[in-house]
Amino acid sequence: MEAVAIINRDKRDRDEVAAALANAGVAAKVELVDGGAIGERAEAAVRAGARLVIVGGGDGSVSSAAQAVAGTDATLGILPLGTLNHLARDLGIPATLAESVQLIAGGHTRTIDVAEVNGRTFVNNAAIGLYPLMVVDRDTQQQRLGRSKRLAMLVASTRTLMRFHHQRLTLSADGGEARIDTPLLFVGNNDYQLALPAAGQRGRLNDGHLCVMVMRKKGVPGFLAAMIRSLLGITRPDDMVRLDEVHELRVESGRSTITLALDGETMAMKPPLTFKIRPGALKVIAPNT
């Protein structure tokens, strides 16, 4: 099987990945690149005619590669080398390098949905409000202080809550419109579960709709209490508004730019933001379901 393997250089040694692929019978050109260059390299590989693009890294790396592969004849293979690996987990892809390479060698493909915002593809979720601020703080700590991702996120969460504020947004979906003040707007690629033990997971990735959740306006104590209740599966109408079966969402703001977290990475976009679902746009190698 001929393929291009694009590996985030922060996650693995090139020779180790190349040996694992070769041992599994996958003939692949292995490239070690910086995380920010993965999307560009994946796009170049697709343009050059690659039928299989293997990406090794975390959710940000996978999302960047999916931007290039979605909507083409190419297939995406995933080596889950990051911290959380949300998409790989929801697809049932094994967590170890050896097992994920064997899965790629088997070649079983599935077609899944992706989402996009203003043309930028994401495979997991996007968020506006508190979470992007936490991610920015986390990344700054990692770069300047060398902290682990988990420790940096814990510190960032505490500091962000001390600067707690709301976003004033106008949402338009399926013919309806509402103006809201919220500390958090969440948009997921397919339906996310909130209750333990499956909190943050998706049962399916081909339902063809966005998962839109809006946190009602709250102070810090109310926000923390609402998050705890959601993890325990306790629903209250004054906590979270959930919009079901959304195919397109438009978000407007009085601000010149909106900072959002997209598959764990932050970026700023000019409003309005238009979120869309792209049913069956991405072919991936994954176990049968």
CATH number of the domain that 232 lies in? Answer: 2.60.200.40
Adjacent-strand bridge partners of 210: 189, 246
* 284 assigned to some structural domain: no
| Number of domains within the chain | 2
What is the per-residue pLDDT for 138?
A: 67
* 188 assigned to some structural domain: yes
Q: What's 77's domain CATH number?
A: 3.40.50.10330
Helix ranges (H only) for the chain are 14-23, 38-47, 59-69, 86-91, 97-106, 130-145, 149-162, 220-231
Tell whether 168 and 263 lie within a shared domain. yes
- For residue 245, the enclosing domain spans 122-278
Tell whether 76 and 136 lie within a shared domain. no
* 114 assigned to some structural domain: no
CA-based radius of gyration for the chain: 19
Tell whether 132 and 269 lie within a shared domain. yes
Nearest 5°: phi and psi at 260? -135, 150
Tell whether 241 and 153 lie within a shared domain. yes
Task: Give the tens place of pLDDT for each residue, 203-261.
Answer: 999 999 999 988 886 666 776 677 667 656 666 777 778 888 899 999 999 999 998 88
Tell whether 264 and 144 lie within a shared domain. yes
Tell whether 269 and 140 lie within a shared domain. yes
Which one of 8-22, 122-136, 156-170, 206-220 scores highest in mean pLDDT?
8-22
CA dihedral of 169, 173, 178, 182, whole degrees rounded to 10: -40
Tell whether 150 and 86 lie within a shared domain. no
- State the pLDDT confidence band at 84, using cuts at 50, 70 and 90: confident
